[in-house]
Amino acid sequence: MRRVALTGLGVVSPLGCDLARFWERLTAGWSGIRRIQNFDPTAYGSQIAGEVKEFDVNAFIPPKERRRMDKFSIFAMAAAKMAVADSGLNLAGENPERIGAIVGSGVGGLVTFQEQHQVVIAKGPGRCSPFMIPEMISNMAGGLIAIEFNLKGPNYSVVSACASGAHSTGDALRRIQRDEADIMIAGGAEAPVCEIGVAGFVAMKALSKRNDAPEKASRPFDANRDGFVIAEGAAILVLEELERAKKRGARIYCELAGYAATCDAFHMTAPSEDGEGAARAMKLAMKDSGCGPDDIDYINAHGTSTELNDKVETRAIKTALGETWARQVMISSTKSMMGHTLGAAGALESVVCALALTHQAVPPTINYETPDPDCDLDYVPNTAREAQVRACLNNSLGFGGHNACLLVKKM
């Protein structure tokens, strides 16, 4: 199979919307979690979120165009434009049939769904927008990106809850490896911080209720974790066939070398307690890349800050890498700073891994204060660490038992 490089990155996140600021805040242990501003959260059990604040939409999308786009597609388009610019590619000069886009989303256009439901209830079905369906369907982010850049290769969306962004990136990798494309635009986007989105997760008792201390609420692997913090954002990566990227003199962040997808086949929302599915995904991703456990220096964990996820993922890491190396590898959950961006998480965390390889440093897991006997590995607590990073695993685990693991390695 052909080898694949990452040559462009773009982020829209609660930690900022440019790569330099994103990385600076990650390594500083800065939290982007605050009281919700998108709506009045007073009546909600969880009133905190990772919202995108420093975002100049006018720099990316004209007003006329964005009136026909849901918020998640706006985030995706902005991240795509940043990633393409970062790659140095002139897509207009490329063969459009050899370029595709795969952009995942867990819930798609939830904001549009909520707004148009309110219109139908208040004013009747005749007032529903004709753009409701195309705005809210999850594949539209990738579709709009393809229209913007005239991409005529593979184009679709992966919907696998919180694993969507990772699965989309892995599928894009396969398209290039199998010579079905030369360049792929891939990632994930999500905008779930609205009344119906927060209400649904509160009803599940999945969210942290640490409303009086938002910046302390997301605390993966800590004994006092009480749920995840919902967040919004997007990340897009430019994947390019390696020899092609070298030939044009591209700046290469790293090689995307391995990918695996598995399923727990266990429960609608809970992970299998033995962690077998997640462990198998890590093992298969390593096998796919030709790496062994002792090649892995860093794992960007799914690390949601929920009781079950964190202890099960810890167990899975031990199974996949073996007890000895699992205790040597650095592990962090950047959700401690960003919150959980659902279908965008795997893509954002792939960007984190690429930057960790570039800068030879690992971001911390913040708010790690009280050790949990069930979570007894090196979670890089509270302070970033300069270290040799040769290869990284990126874990994403979604409702429905969906597991995705990506492996990136230094060139």
Give the catalytic positions in this structure: 162, 302, 340
Q: By the 8 A CB rule, do 275 and 305 touch?
A: no
| CA-based end-to-end distance of the chain | 17
Q: Shortest CA distance to 31 belongs to which of 214, 194, 191?
A: 214
CA 273 to chain centre: 23
Both tokens assigned to 200: 């649904």
d(CA 84, CA 88): 7
Query: What is the helix (H) or strand (E) element at residue 143, kind and residue range?
Result: helix 140-149
In angstroms, the Cα distances linking 144 to 31, 75, 158, 346 are 31, 12, 15, 21
Task: Report the relative pairing of strands 99-104 and 183-190 from DSSP bridges.
Answer: parallel
Q: Decide: 154 and 125 in contact? Cβ < 8 Å.
A: no
Give, as one character, the DSSP assignment of residue 364.
-
Backbone region of residue 388 per phi and psi (left: phi > 0; alpha: psi in -120 to 50; beta: other values): beta
Residue 130 is classified by DSSP as T
Using an 8 Å Cβ cutoff, are 171 and 187 in contact?
A: no
Q: Residue 239 is inside which H or E element, if any?
A: strand 233-241
> Which 3-state string (H, E, C) describes 65-84?
HHCCCCHHHHHHHHHHHHHH
Find the DSSP H helices in 158-212.
Answer: 164-177, 195-203
Q: Which position has the token pair 């919902």?
A: 230
C-beta separation of 74 from 227 below 8 A = no
d(CA 20, CA 351) in angstroms, rounded, equals 12
Angle at Cα 102 formed by Cα 101 and Cα 106, nearest 5°? 145
Spatial distance between the Cα atoms of 347 and 234, rounded to a whole number of angstroms:
7
